[in-house]
Amino acid sequence: MTTPNIILEGNHTPLVDEPPQLRLSGVKPGIRVILRASCVDSSGITYSSWAEYKTRADDAINPARQSPLDGTYHGKDPFGLWWSMTSAVDRAFSRDLRPIATTVSAEIGGERIAEIAFSRLRIAPDIRTVDVRSGGLFATFFVPNAPIPAAAVIVLGGSEGGIVVAEEFAALLASRGFAALAVAYFGSSGLPERLVQIPLEYLQNAAHWLLRRPEVSGSGIGVVGTSRGGELALLLASFFPWAHAVVGFAASSLVWPGFTTGLDACAAWTWEGRDLPFAIPRPQPLPTGASGPLISSPWFLSTLRDRSVRERSTICVERIRGAVLLISGSDDQVWPSRQLAELALRRLARAGSGQPTRSLHLNYPHAGHGVGRGLGLPAAPTIIPGPNGILYALGGSKAGNARSAQHAWPQVLSFLSEHLSVHTTAPHRIR
């Protein structure tokens, strides 16, 4: 019998959107072995997971292709060891682009028999990064180091503000063949401090900057947005013909107010100096004796039932000339992203057969507001603290959110590739 050994096959520094191809060999068939995975984020916090397997007839264990007998996740899941990692205190994994130092060890009867250390990447080594801090823009450009121009995508974060979330997504898109511009629209230097009266012209300027780049091909671009960024992505596509494809994660097809510190509602978006009409969520009374994190989705559902308010604040998606992909979670507790997506699709359908827009909706029953995001990373908490000290429920389960990302990410790449006419480098398929 050979010495037990963990081998990393294929790519020895895989991107986070491809599960490491690990293989444990050198153990007799039918033996129960525990694999423990751990990594440390840039804040120095350790995340760990484990799974118990039984060696197969070929004396091997392959966690990407086997279901564990027990562990931090259940069922056959090539990303199971990675999303099911948790820290001692449940907190979100650090948002940055540094390599993730990872260790996997194998144990039999509490004795460690093998170990391997490697890095997982959040951005491919050949991606060039350009900070854009001129012309009023606050953005980061990620572009493949390739001899031919690439299709372009603008990436927008959500209500967290700043640029970090958009950069994370844009870096991975660039690693798969796109020229991606992560754009901050509030909460960064030189921009509004809060999500209040953001001019659409600012994003139009970002699109023009992107289309002028020699690394970019074509006359149109894609727009990818998350939550409020998804709302903004739909708005942009309804206003500007350069938006040839739009992807919204937990997006809204209605316009909602900006974030103010007072009681008076204020517009989130403006065009030509005028506020865009918006709907106001209607707070619902809590059941007697209710406790726990705040669930705000009923506030938005109540507003959706008012037809006059709904019509006044609904985004005119029928004006979109490109293709639309909406990704929602049925258990979204922030706002009803499934119903908001369905509202957009019904409006598109009513536009008639002559409407050139192709619309798709991916809905995941066990996902919440974090639907489709964080592929290959330790799953984010489903309850988060707000700036006012209140706990907010995002909905879904960690497994539901993580598995929605596994399914949605290849669909997003394929969708953007098709409608922006680009060849992308897809993640490895799991046999």
pLDDT digits 0-9 by tens, 89-102: 999 999 899 999 99
**What does the pLDDT read at residue 263?**
64
Same domain, 169 and 314: yes
Domain with 78, as residue range(s), is: 5-120
* pTM, entire model: 0.94
Q: How far apart are CA 111 and CA 108, in angstroms?
A: 5
Output the six-digit token pair for 309.
């308010």
Q: Is 426 a member of any domain?
A: no
Q: Is 427 a member of any domain?
A: no
The H-or-E segment that residue 327 falls in is strand 323-329
Q: Which residues of 107-136 are buried (b: 16+ CB within 10 A; e: fewer)?
A: bbeeeebbebebebbbbbeebeeeebeeee
User: pLDDT digit string (tens) for 54-81?
Assistant: 998 777 899 989 999 999 999 999 999 9
Same domain, 318 and 334: yes
For the sheet containing 269-271, what is the strand order?
198-199, 269-271, 274-275
**What does the pLDDT read at residue 3?**
87
Give me the CATH number covering residue 286. 3.40.50.1820
Contact 143, 179 (CB under 8 A): yes
Same domain, 114 and 133: no
Same domain, 33 and 137: no
Q: Is 428 a member of any domain?
A: no
Computed from CA positions of residues 190, 192, 197, 202, in that sequence, does the dihedral angle turn out positive or negative?
Answer: positive
Same domain, 109 and 159: no
Same domain, 344 and 205: yes
Which of 98, 120, 142 is where one domain is finished? 120
Q: Is 425 a member of any domain?
A: no
Side chain identity at 144, as an amino acid letter? P
Q: Is 61 a member of any domain?
A: yes
User: pLDDT digit string (tens) for 148-188?
Assistant: 999 999 999 999 999 999 999 999 999 999 999 999 999 99
Same domain, 213 and 333: yes
Q: How far apart are CA 280 and CA 169, in angstroms?
A: 29
Which of 120, 139, 170 is where one domain is finished? 120
Same domain, 60 and 45: yes
Same domain, 392 and 245: yes
Which of 105, 120, 135 is where one domain is finished? 120
Low-confidence ranges of the chain (pLDDT < 50): 353-354, 423-424, 426, 428-431
Same domain, 288 and 393: yes
**CA-only gyration radius of the chain, Å:** 23
Instruction: Compute CA distances 274 → 241, 267, 270, whole Å.
Output: 21, 9, 5
Computed from CA positions of residues 329, 331, 335, 336, in that sequence, does the dihedral angle turn out positive or negative?
Answer: positive
**What does the pLDDT read at residue 428?**
38
Q: How far apart are CA 336 and CA 329, in angstroms?
A: 8
Same domain, 68 and 159: no
| DSSP state letters, 329-390 | ETT-SSS-HHHHHHHHHHHHHHT-TT----EEEEEETTB-TTTT--TTSPPPPSEEE-TTS-
**What does the pLDDT read at residue 291?**
73
Instruction: Compute CA distances 101 → 14, 87, 117, 214, whole Å.
Output: 12, 15, 7, 35
Count of domains in the chain?
2
Give me the CATH number covering residue 44. 2.60.40.2240
Side chain identity at 289, as an amino acid letter? G
| DSSP class of 249 | E
Of 319, 201, 207, 196, which Cα lies nearest the Cα of 253? 319
Q: How far apart are CA 164 and CA 157, in angstroms?
A: 8
Same domain, 199 and 172: yes
Q: Is 429 a member of any domain?
A: no
